[in-house]
Amino acid sequence: MLSKEDNMLIAQVGPGTAMGEAMRSYWIPILLSYELPENDGRALRVRVLGENLIAFRDSEGKVGLLDEHCPHRGASLYFGRNEECGLRCVYHGWKFNVSGTIVDMPNEPPTSTFKNRIKANAYPCAERNGVIWAYMGNKSDENRPDLPDFEWNLVPESRCYISKRVEDCNWVQAYEGGIDSSHVSFLHSRLNPTDFTGSPREKGMKYMAGDKFPHYETIETPYGMMVGARRSAEPGYHYWRITQCLMPFYTILPSYGTDSPVSGHAWVPIDDYSTMVWTITWHPIRDLTQDELDDMKYWSPDRVGTSEGNGRHLPLNMYMEETSIANSRWRSKLNLANDYLIDWNAQATKSFSGIPTIAMQDQAVQESMGPIFDRRKEHLGTADLAIIRMRHLWLNTAKGLQERGVEPVGVSAPATYHIRSASMRLPEDADWVREAELVTSADQSKVHFV
Ligand code: FES
Ligand SMILES: [Fe+2]
């Protein structure tokens, strides 16, 4: 349960809000590089942290991110002419480079210094391995943090698959679904636990199906929090699933099976009422196979995927047609208005929810809570420990920055983001934290899963 004030404090992300300012201390992933495919190509509407922005790639390939509205009289720069290292407003021809500097003001006399006194609001961008990041905070070039060392953003692109989808609800309830290990035994389960496929994932899935009330422990880390969910395994052993919670809105999920890829999410707030869910699956030491990629891109009720990532990503045939509205390319055809195409017959006979794909199962329950759930009305149990701890971390971070200027957790520790998750079968008396620390470093070349 949270008070109304604390609930809104973590939910609201616009400029000037406590959580919004905390988030602006970090680099934010905003686009995949292929969304801006060519130099001098069309500009793109972007909405993130409640701000309407325009992204463009200039003649040299550099990415610019400007306020949507031209600082002259507010026309949208979406219609701008992207030419010779700048975006030119089509209303009166003012032209801006990627830093927001006005490089041409053709409706003023050439002798005028007016253009030197005005700038468009522009956010610095960085691009690495197919991902465009923006820094929306107020630190100058030299004081800005480095990009976080996520393994998925450091491996070659052939080892990583990223998809995105828009969720119509606040980022907090979306994120909380991502660290809530106990729902996996229900929402994503099949009715008949013997209905497995012989894949290497099965051992872990059977432990999950066999113990539906895991014991949780959490520890704080330099990047946020590590969560251990302990379930019964064979006599004398426990099955531990380690989830990484990285500030401000990332998760790395425990996978199944040896040689399995790893998955994680970034729950990036579009505004207070919608979230861009990035789903990322990567293999630390080898390229993803064609089978693994197909499992992520295609889905049908008859196709039972065998690899990590199947159903976690929204399949390609479930996206709506793109329009020029910001983020429209990442909307699902399955939504609240059509009940996410739930198959009631499948719910009765095959799967716990009847909703197609893990991604849509998550989205359905998270959106069904309403735009921002009133957390005065909830009743948290022992299974919700990780959520309770994460809320404390967010609240302390947001209030610490707002009230005392304390830098948010992880901003100055980008190297500590170089970690993975793990799932482990350990003897009952083992120290899970020590074991987890040994196997979750992304520096070692082995992937650790049961
Ligand atoms: S509104 Fe953009 S140049 Fe006038
Ligand atoms: Fe889920």
pLDDT tens-digit profile of 175-200? 999 998 888 888 988 887 655 555 55
For ligand 1, say whether the CB of 92 is within 6 Å of any of its atoms. yes
Q: How does DSSP classify residue 101? A: B
Determine if ligand 1 sits within 6 Å of the CB of residue 96. no
pLDDT of residue 348: 93
Considering all CA atoms of the chain, what is the largest pairwise distance in Å, rounded to the nearest integer? 84
List the one residue out of 73, 69, 23, 85 whose CA is nearest residue 49: 23
| Burial tier of 134 (Cβ tally within 10 Å: 0-12, 13-18, 19+) | buried
- pLDDT in the model for residue 211: 80
Contact 276/134 with Cβ under 8 angstroms?
A: no
**What ligand 1 atom has the least distance to the C-alpha of 75?**
1
Two tokens at 106? Answer: 């053709």
Residues in Cβ contact with 76 at an 8 Å cutoff, skipping those fewer than 6 apart:
54, 68, 69, 70
Classify 201 in phi/psi space as left (phi over 0), alpha (psi -120 to 50) or beta.
alpha
Asked whether residue 438 carries a pLDDT value surpassing 90, the answer given is no
Q: If you measure from the C-alpha of residue 50 to the centroid of ligand 2, how many angstroms do you get, rounded to a whole number?
A: 25
pLDDT at 243: 94
Domain with CATH 2.102.10.10 in the chain: 27-143
Number of continuous H segments (helices) and E segments (strands) in the chain: 9, 18
2-6, 208-212, 419-423: which has the minimum mean pLDDT?
A: 208-212
pLDDT for the residue numbered 207 = 84
Pocket test for ligand 1, best of 73, 104, 105 (most atoms within 8 A of CB): 73
Segment 196-251, tens digit of pLDDT: 555 556 677 778 777 878 899 999 999 999 999 999 999 999 999 999 999 999 99
From the CA of 96, the nearest ligand is 1
pLDDT digits (tens, 9 = 90+) for 92-112: 999 999 999 999 999 999 999
CB of 253 sitting under 6 A from ligand 1: no
Q: Is the pLDDT reported for residue 260 higher than 90? A: no
Q: Is 377 exposed, middle or buried (0-12, 13-18, 19+ CB in 10 A)?
A: exposed
Cα–Cα distances (Å) from 344 to 110, 302, 366, in that order, read: 69, 16, 19
Q: Which of 110-124, 300-314, 395-409 has the lowest mean pLDDT?
A: 300-314
Rounded alpha-carbon distances, angstroms, from residue 158 to 150, 210, 260, 266, 394 = 16, 36, 15, 20, 34
Burial (CB < 10 A; 0-12, 13-18, 19+), residue 111, is exposed
416 in the Ramachandran plot: left (φ > 0), alpha (ψ -120 to 50) or beta? Answer: alpha
Given pLDDT bands bounded at 50, 70 and 90, which one contains residue 302? low
115 touches ligand 1 (CB under 6 Å)? no
Q: Distance, CA 184 to ligand 2 centroid (Å)?
A: 6
Nearest listed ligand to the Cα of residue 358 = 2
Taking the CA of residue 94 as reference, the ligand 1 atom at the shortest distance is 3
Euclidean distance between CA atoms 73 and 133, whole angstroms: 28
Question: Ligand 1 center to residue 133 CA distance, Å?
Answer: 27
Could you tell me the distance, in angstroms and rounded to a whole number, from the CA of residue 40 to the centre of ligand 1?
A: 20
What are 360-394's pLDDT values in tens digits?
A: 999 999 999 999 999 999 999 998 999 999 999 99
Q: What is the pLDDT of residue 212?
A: 79
Top-confidence residue, 190 or 74: 74
- What pLDDT does residue 214 have? 87
Query: Which residues fall within 8 angstroms of residue 118, CB to CB, at 6 or more apart?
Result: 71, 102
Give the percent of the chain with pLDDT over 70.
94
Angstrom distances, CA of residue 271 to CA of 30, 59, 61, 418: 13, 31, 28, 28
pLDDT of residue 196: 55
Classified as helix, coil or strand, 364 is: helix
Q: Where in the chain are all domains bearing CATH 3.90.380.10?
A: 151-440
Written as one string, the DSSP assignment of 23-76 is: HTTSEEEEEEGGGS-STT---EEEEETTEEEEEEE-TTS-EEEEESB-TTT--B
Predicted local confidence at residue 137, as pLDDT: 97
Nearest CA to ligand 1 atom 1: 73
Edge-to-edge strands, sheet with 51-57: 44-48, 51-57, 63-67
Please give the single-letter amino acid code of residue 449. Answer: F
Q: Cis peptide leading into 248, omega within 30 of 0? A: yes
Range 27-143 has CATH code 3.50.50.60: no
What is the rounded CA–CA span in Å between residue 131 and residue 123? 16
pLDDT, residue 311, reads 83
**CATH class, range 151-440:** alpha beta
Length of the chain counted residue by residue: 450
- Would you say the CB of residue 81 lies under 6 angstroms from ligand 1? no
More confident residue, 99 or 261: 99
Structure tokens belonging to residue 431: 């120290």
The single-letter DSSP state of residue 356 is S
73 C-beta closer than 6 A to ligand 1: yes
Q: Please tell me the distance from the alpha carbon of residue 417 to that of residue 96, in angstroms, as a whole number.
A: 35
